[in-house]
Chain A
Amino acid sequence: MAYVALLLGLFTFVLALLLHILFWQFLRPARDLLLLFFLFAIAPVVTVIVQLYLSISYTDSLACTDIVAVMLCYCALSAAYIMTYPALSARCPSLRIVLLIEKGGEDGLSFSLLESGFDTADLVTDRLNELLSSGLVSGSRNAGYRVTWRGKMLLKPFMLFRRFLGLAPGAG
């Protein structure tokens, strides 16, 4: 495997990250995950242009396996980042817990003090509103909630995955 596959894959990933930072500084849309997917989808276009330029300028052009290797590297790095992003946008409680306990210093942090740093909106209602706005759940507090077919399409693979691993549904 030539270094070029790794370097071009990394270059494309860094390019996508730069686009991501630039957009988020000026415009962070409500449906941020959708825009994130879009940005990470358009970044390889630049790399393809660079590759085309290289193949025109130099006789030693990239082979088909090279291009696939570059895209595999880019997709793997992008997937890793995109999977991490929700922890950030949803203000992952576990990370906040660790940071709050650290702030407690040598005295530590009691459960009640920790609890004061969170509310129901943090842990339940914000997430429920996101499910409602993205059409994964329908209904209201009075009428009751229902998982839509889109919600079921998302939930079923997770349940099958857990069953394959021999595990009960996650505790959330």
Chain B
Amino acid sequence: MYTTTSSGVGGSGALWLHLILLTLSPVLITVIHALLARINSRLRPENSNQLVCLQAVFVTLFPMMLLLLFFGSLALDNGLLLSTVLYSVVVYLALGYTYFHLFNMSETARRIRLLYEIESGFFTVAETPAAGASPVQISLATRLERLEGLGQIERGTGGESYYVKGRTILLGARIVRLWGLLLGIDILTRR
């Protein structure tokens, strides 16, 4: 426990700093993300926005770990260094994952998009808008393009069929589906 083991140079003050720094890590991720997103906008072709977000989470991990180790080592006995690193990595990655999902919501969430469209005054629920493509086709095309950009699917030589290329999102989809079944929700059917 801290009361008995925080006998390092900085004591509990450094521990508080350690925890505050960890709590504020999403702020640092946001700043790094803003920087990387601006660099990405000048690249041709641009990387996927979601990929840039993930890069921001992992680029921030290194300076964060150095700072956290510094404060951790000030406060704790050497025997607790491994548990400090483990704790910091778990909490940082959980916060980073939360940040990625928050960004993903702003990027892909249909509810946020609908709110934006209604607020901007160009929302239509028509089955077939004037442009010719239905909302389903537009929505699917956007998602297919995004998945291609992330390297998770690819088109065949004829360009008509899609194939699974990467395994990351497929693995995630399988886990989400299994977890959903445990909760009584099947993402592939309407029940």
- Chain B residue contacts of A28, Cβ below 8 A: 183-185
B137:A115 contact, CB within 8 angstroms = yes
> What A residues does B139 contact at CB under 8 A?
93, 118, 123-124, 172
Q: Given A167-B37, A170-B107 in contact, is the A96-B187 Cβ separation under 8 Å?
A: yes
Instruction: Provide the bound-state CA to CA distance between A154 and B109, in Å.
Output: 13
Mask: chain B, 98-119; 1 = CB below 8 Å from A; 0 = not = 1001110111111111111011
Cβ contacts under 8 Å, A120 to chain B: 125, 127, 134-136
Kindly state whether residue A34 has any CB partner on chain B within 8 Å. Answer: no
Contact of A1 with B176 in the complex, beta carbons under 8 Å = no
- Closest CB of chain A to B132's CB: distance in Å? 14
Say whether B170 contacts A102, CB under 8 Å: yes
A128 within 8 A of B: yes
Give the B interface residue count (CB, 8 A).
90
A45 interface hit (Cβ, 8 Å) = no
A89 neighbours in B (Cβ, 8 Å): 185
Chain B binding site: helix, strand, loop or mixed by DSSP? Answer: helix
For chain A, what secondary structure do more than half of its interface residues adopt (helix, strand, loop), or is it mixed?
helix
Are B87 and A6 interface neighbours, CB within 8 A? yes
With A88-B176, A95-B173, A147-B119 known to touch, is A72 a contact of B98 (CB < 8 Å)? no
- Closest CB-CB distance, A150 to chain B, in whole Å? 10
Report the bound CA distance from A156 to B41 in whole Å: 23
- Does A1 contact B18, Cβ atoms closer than 8 Å? yes
8 Å CB contacts to A: which residues of B161-191?
161-164, 169-170, 172-174, 176-177, 179-180, 182-185, 187-188, 190
Is A57 in contact with chain B by the CB < 8 A criterion? no
Q: Which residue of B is nearest A161, CB measured?
A: B106
Closest A residue by C-beta to B155: A108
Residue B80 CB within 8 A of the other chain = yes
Per the bound structure, the CA–CA distance linking A158 and B106 in Å amounts to: 6
Q: Which residue of B lies closest to A91 (CB)?
A: B187
B60 at the interface (CB under 8 A from A): no
| Residues in A neighbouring B170, C-beta threshold 8 A | 98-99, 102
Is B91 in contact with A171, judged by CB distance below 8 angstroms?
no
Please determine whether B87 and A5 come into contact, CB atoms closer than 8 angstroms.
Answer: yes
B146's partner among A73, A91, A94 (CB-CB below 8 A) is A94
In the complex, are the beta carbons of A63 and B12 less than 8 A apart? yes
Bound complex: CA A93 to CA B6 (Å): 49
A157, chain B: closest CB distance, angstroms: 9
Q: Does the CB pair B115–A147 fall under 8 Å? A: yes
Closest 7 CB pairs of A and B: A172-B113, A108-B161, A83-B101, A76-B94, A1-B84, A95-B173, A63-B2
In the assembled complex, 7 residue pairs joining A and B whose CB atoms fall closer than 8 Å, in A order, are A6-B86, A66-B3, A76-B91, A88-B185, A95-B177, A97-B140, A147-B115
Seed contacts A79-B94, A80-B94, A123-B136; 18 additional CB < 8 Å A-B pairs: A1-B83, A1-B84, A24-B185, A65-B15, A88-B180, A88-B187, A91-B187, A94-B169, A95-B176, A97-B140, A97-B147, A98-B173, A99-B173, A101-B153, A104-B163, A107-B161, A122-B136, A164-B30
